[in-house]
Amino acid sequence: MVRAPDGGGHDSRSRSQPEIVRLKYSRHGPVFYTDSINHVAYTLRATSSEPGSGGYLAALRLAEVRNCHEFLDAMAYYHEPSENMVCGDVEGNIAWLTAALTPNRAGGWYGRLRSGHGTVWVGRVPQPHGAAAGTVRIID
């Protein structure tokens, strides 16, 4: 059963004719609901739909690394999904890096429910990469 905002609904399995749906987008992401009374549109923006965020492509680079230093360099291309990534190599090195594509929001908003601050993305929080930015330890 699919419920409409007015409380009505319909069984989505019983449609005999295809339904044409008009998709709306904004600079903040796809619009999933429009409140025409209050003139407000609700959108959803996710880092997983940002350009270059396909984790499977970055994983192909990770599959080719030969040591922890190459691992940290390859992690510069890994943005999504957010992960704690750990690597160990035959030289006894262990590397750890938290990989994430984190939006930088205007107004000091840090991800909690609306707090009166802006939630508009104004860029990305820089992600450190390379051996100098990651953690590499030699284990004896």
118 pLDDT exceeds 80?
no
Determine how many CB atoms are found less than 10 A away from the CB of residue 132. Answer: 9
Nearest to 21 by CA among 32, 10, 11: 32
Contact 72, 133 (CB under 8 A): yes
Cα–Cα distance measured from residue 23 to residue 2, given in angstroms and rounded to the nearest whole number = 18
The verdict on whether omega for the bond into residue 81 sits within 30 degrees of 0, i.e. cis, is yes
Contact 95, 134 (CB under 8 A): yes
Q: pTM (2 decimals)?
A: 0.56
Mapping DSSP to helix (H, G, I), strand (E, B) and coil, where does residue 23 land? coil
What confidence tier does 136 reach under pLDDT thresholds 50, 70, 90?
low
Q: What is the pLDDT of residues 6-61, one digit of tens each?
A: 666 656 566 677 788 888 988 778 899 999 999 888 888 777 777 777 777 888 88
Q: What is the pLDDT of residues 62-84, one digit of tens each?
A: 899 999 889 888 888 887 777 78
Mapping DSSP to helix (H, G, I), strand (E, B) and coil, where does residue 93 land? strand
Is the dihedral angle over the CA atoms 2, 49, 79, 28 positive or is it negative? negative
Beta strands in the chain, from DSSP E residues, in sequence order: 2-3, 9-10, 25-26, 29-35, 40-43, 83-88, 93-99, 103-105, 121-124, 135-138
